[in-house]
Structure 1
Amino acid sequence: MERVKCGLIRVLAMAAIFAGLLGCATPDRRADILYRPAANVTGGSGDLYLVQGVRRPAGESASIQWVLGKVTDDDGKQLANIVTDMAPSSLVLDALNQELKRAGYNVILRDTAPADANKALILKEATILVNDTHTAVKDEVKSTVKIAVEPRRQGTLTGVSAYEAQYSDTGLTDRDHLPADVLQKTLQLLMTRAVPDMVKVLEQK
């Protein structure tokens, strides 16, 4: 009887340790956003072909989760990933689509632009990095977004333009939403810098 009791205690102790280990695991943090336009640019007119020109990875499917960065402790040890359901190029293209419509264009999304298109904008590069430093009392999230675009007028390439924005913030409460909030603000900052320049190039006479 005593031997059975000891065995039961040992099993319960191991179960408690296993449960404790599971409780310490940090789940991946999500950075899903619904982009909110912020550039407030005007001056665009007419049809504008907006093209996804970023090469897609082979085998890409709707079930892929995109890793944008890491959650680490203050010693640099990785605790989890920061993930989203949308590819970086799709996030950027959605932001461009909304901002350029508000600027006055009739935006037409295409895989390729017609050779004789009066105005076209091809997204050539889109990278997003979001990292979160997590401690017991706060989280600090830093985000960087880089893009490169090819504006074209009357089928002629006007040059490749590159833009970059960085943003960071610290949260003491509601920290699970901080990566998404920081990504939203970084993308808005990038669009505020980039879209006025794009419109200027596209509308040059």
Structure 2
Amino acid sequence: MVEHDTREAYDAAAHTYAALFRDSLRDSPLDRMALAAFAEVVLAGGNGRVADLGCGPGHVTAHLRGLGLAAFGVDVSPVMVELARQAHPDLRFDVGSMAALDIADSELGGVLSRWSAIHVPPPELPAVLAELHRVLAPGGHLLLGFSATDGPSHPTRVFDHAVAPAYRWAPDHLSALLREAGLSEVARVVREPVPTDRRQFQEVHLLARKGALTG
């Protein structure tokens, strides 16, 4: 039911969302830095195939392709996927769920979930992280973008997302959940809020790695 409601909400907001955010990376140097580091470590692993989960109108998927990755997008909203296909006809975009990806085991060198896992209710997130672990190849990387809570005493908090119900996470708590799913934190980038931000939250990019096979 939650995913159905999220899909309908993003379908309704898709055209407005695309107009607002299609150029958002241009004014976000820290986001570009995190994406560049993600691309570099993925390519260094030898498998540049990457899924951009919650791809929206496809601008970040296109940015990843520009960084040399074989990137494709997945989004729960059919309207978002159609807008992405129109804007980037040379790229692949599929309608799909983070909880049940139509991707083979160990297929990907990287997974990007940039402000998409925030819509997963906390009790359901471990299963979603397990699904991301499943599709990553050994040694593959996950880059997870999210808004942070006020401190460790608040592992999760609902916040007033403009489109659909969403959750903030304490970075250390989310890192622990990743570790339980077999994904070890490699690095994190934290952007402090500035006075002009509508929401005074830290924004976090957390980079994690699936363990490599050992002989």
The structure with the largest strand share of the pair is: 1
Structure with bigger gyration radius: 1
Bigger helix fraction: 2
Query: TM-score by structure 2 length?
Result: 0.30
TM-score normalised according to structure 1 size: 0.31
Q: Which has the higher contact order (CA 8 A, sep 6+)?
A: 1
